[in-house]
Structure formats: C-alpha cells, structure tokens
Copies of this chain bind each other. A is one copy, B any other.
Amino acid sequence: MMNYMYPSAIGAGCGPLLQSGAAKAASLRLQFFQHVRANGRAARADVARALKISAGSATAVTSDLIASGLLQEVSEQTRETGRGRPSVALEVVPTAAYVVGIKLSSRRHCAVLTDFVGNVLAGVTLPSNNRRRSLQELLDQITSLIDMLVQQAEISVDDIDAVGIGVPGIVDMENGVVRWCSLLQDDDVDLAPAFAVRFDMPLFIDNDTNMLTLAELWFGEGRDKTDFAVVTIENGVGMGLVVNNTLYRGSHGVGLELGHTKVQMDGALCRCGQRGCLEAYLGDYALTREVGVALDLGEARHRTPEDLLDLLFEEAKSGNAAAKTIFRRAGRYLAVGLSNVVQLFDPPLIIISGERTRYDYLFADEVLAEMKTMTLSDVRQPCAIAIRPWDDMVWAHGAAVPAISALSDKLVADCEMSNT
C-alpha cells in the first residue's frame, strides 16, 4: 500500500502543466469597455461597482477610452427616482468601427454589416449553388457581398475594419485556411491570405456552426449563460458548445458532429458510410427516402430533395398520416440525440436552430416530452430547450463576432499605448 505510485506520471511535480487561460487577465480598460458594451449603457459608478475598482480608476479609464474615441457620454434625461448627482451613462461609439459578417453556403450566401456595437446596418444575400468553385470564384462572391453592403449602407469599403466568414466545413482558424469545404474545389485553401491580397483588412474564418453559436453567445439567449449548446439542423446536424463563456472548438477543429453520433447500433446507412448515425434518420435524404411510399408523387418524383421535403411537410400539415409518421419517426431520433447531449454535457440550455426548424413536427410537444423522459432522473433538473425561428442573418451576424472581438482588443490596446 505504501508503495503506491501513480501509474504514468509525466515527469516530476504535480498539477496541470499548461497554464490555464486565467493566467493573463484582460486589462482594466478592456474589461471596462467590455462591460459597457455588454450592458449597452453604464455609468462610471456602475462599472466601478461591477468590476470592483475604485471610482478614481473609473474616471481615469473612461477619459482614456473617450479620448481614443471608443466610448462616449450619453445625455440621459430619463431619471425617475434617486437622490444625489445623476450618473452619466457611457456607451460604445457605434461608428468607431465597421465590421462585415458573412455566411457562405450552397443555397445562398448571406452577409451583414455591423457597427462597433454589433448593430446590423445592412444585410444582403447572394444566390449560391451546389457546384464546387475555385478560390477566385469564391473571392469574387465575397467581394460582391461586400460591395452590396457598402452600397446599401452608403459607406466606403475603406470604412470596413474587419471581416468574419463562417463556412460549412473544416477550418484552420489560426492560419485562415479552409481545410475542407463543400463549396470549394480544392482542399487546404488559403482563404485569409488570398483575401488579404484583395482587401486591406483582417479576415477571420471559422466553421459556420461555431459562428452561429457565437451569435447566441453575443446577441442571443446564451448571453447570460456560462454554458450552453447550440444544435443546428440543416443538411447535416451540427453542434456548438459554450463552456465557461467561451466557445469550445474541439481539439481538431472538425466541429462537433452531433449528426454522426450513433443512435442505433447497426442502424440505417448514413452518407458518411457508417450505420446508425443520427443524420441517417434526420437528414433530408433520410426523410425523402420514404416519400415515395407515403405520397403518390407523380411527376414530383424528379424534384430536388429540398422540394420533396417541403411537399412532405405540406402533406403532413394537411393531415396525411403517412407523411406525419415520417416526421414523427425523425422526431423520435432527434429526441434521442438531444437526450444524449443532455446526459453527456448537462447544459442548462440547448438552442436548436437551422433551416429545418420550420418543420415543426420535429419539435412537437411529444418529441420534447420524450426527450425529457429520456433525461429525467430523480435529481436532474430538466434542460431548457429553445427553438430559434430560422434566419440566415443570425449566422452572418455571428460571423461578425470574432472580427468585432479582435478589433476591440486591438483598439483598446492601442488606447493603452497612446495614453501612457
């Protein structure tokens, strides 16, 4: 007993070898700025209390940030009660920077222009298609989107300070390389470097599901949660995860593939080649597989899967029992997939989004009830489920987040330099 030794100790000592991120804290100016942005408006005294800093520091920091044009005072008339000197609200200067967020997909591209506060100033879409394209073609499409935004918002391209793009695929964020993407002909495409040749501003790319998750963290219901999950149901079924207020990306940047978790040993064949994947029961090809049996298609037989699915949904809504069963079955598998997320991760909230959310049969009360049964134990609180009405713009909005975030870090750092 005395000679117990931990089987595979790595070297001497104990404790984690890698410094946790908490090692280097954000500077006071950045914290202050972020707090004001998060609250929309906040007085110096409010921020001082929240960040537990002295009033003097608040004054100093504020004057620096105002001098750098990042914050501004707001003349706030509305004041019902309270004695003392009225507080002066501060807000982020919206025009301090402009940022573009883009969602690329095979159906249509989507882009928004936001100001420094994240407000959407313009939004445009561009038809896309299923064909794989070259890097140059994609860059042309990106350029078109930016041009359209510039026109709509009546600004100049030079006013834009950064761009974020979410792509359906696998991304090396560090180097701005698209490792694999259904839209591109080639693998390992140097998107960010190529972008830098055309535009004089930084480009941030990431997986599109991650961008949507960031949208929820920055603008949506995730804002007041430290941990939550986002499930996207589109062509495939993806997942985004926020842990400790931070997007978790997994170790290989592949994205979290809820669609390829197995819900049935030796189950239905999935297009990934495996059997029993959730997607094999929830993907469009899975649903349309049985359309011919449920519906008398006639000439509709040759439509695209998407159209077939819409047709099936119409039928189900108008009472076709066979069509309903197809959705019902898919819903049951979805319930299993979601319950697995709850069991494995125990989040306080799962947000479901994506194009397919319009097929509300998937989220019938009975489906959610089923999920609840599958996760409920004596002790577990039920996990909240939020279903987002589908909107492409949200993805594009989320794509702007890394750009806004990096830009704020940089501008606040510049402010620290100059006010020394």
Closest residue on chain B to residue A152 by CB atoms: B2
Contact B265 A332 (CB under 8 A): yes
The quantity of this chain's copies bound in the complex is 2
In chain B, what residue has the closest Cβ to A392?
B4
Of B24, B254, B405, which one neighbours A25 at CB under 8 angstroms? B24
Residues of B within 8 A of A2 (CB): 122-123, 152
Which candidate, A138-146, A220-228, A298-306, is the interface stretch facing chain B?
A220-228
CB distance from A346 to the nearest CB of B (A): 3
Asked if A243 and B245 sit within 8 Å, CB to CB, the answer is no
Could you tell me how many residues of chain A have their Cβ less than 8 Å away from some Cβ of chain B?
112
Q: Does A417 belong to the interface (CB within 8 Å)?
A: no
Instruction: Select which of B38, B248, B267, B391 is within 8 A of A7 by beta carbon.
Output: B391
Task: Indicate if the CB atoms of B245 and A20 lie closer than 8 Å.
Answer: yes
Q: Are B1 and A379 in contact (CB under 8 A)?
A: no
* Residue among A6, A18, A374 with max Cβ neighbours from chain B (10 Å): A6
Which residues on B sit within 8 Å (CB–CB) of A125? 1
Question: B31 and A11: CB pair below 8 A?
Answer: no
Per-position binary interface string of chain A over residues 209-230, scored 1 when its CB falls under 8 Å from any chain B CB and 0 otherwise: 0000001011111111111000
The answer to whether the Cβ of A244 comes within 8 Å of any Cβ in the partner chain is yes
The verdict on A39 contacting B20 (CB below 8 Å), with A122-B2, A346-B254, A393-B4 known, is no
Q: Are A180 and B379 in contact (CB under 8 A)?
A: yes
Q: Tell me the chain A residues, 232-275 only, with Cβ under 8 Å from chain B.
A: 239, 241, 243-246, 248, 250-252, 254-258, 260-265, 267, 272, 274
What CA separation (Å) do A380 and B397 show in the bound complex?
Answer: 28
Residue A176 lies at the interface, judged by CB distance under 8 Å to chain B: no
Q: How far is the CA of A11 from the CA of B2 in the complex (A)?
A: 59
Q: A263-B265, A276-B336 are in contact. List 19 more A-B contacts (CB 8 A).
A: A1-B152, A6-B219, A6-B220, A7-B389, A9-B220, A13-B117, A17-B224, A18-B225, A20-B244, A22-B24, A250-B347, A251-B346, A254-B379, A257-B343, A257-B344, A258-B344, A260-B377, A264-B265, A341-B344
Top 5 A-B pairs, shortest CB-CB distance? A12-B40, A250-B346, A13-B40, A25-B25, A14-B118
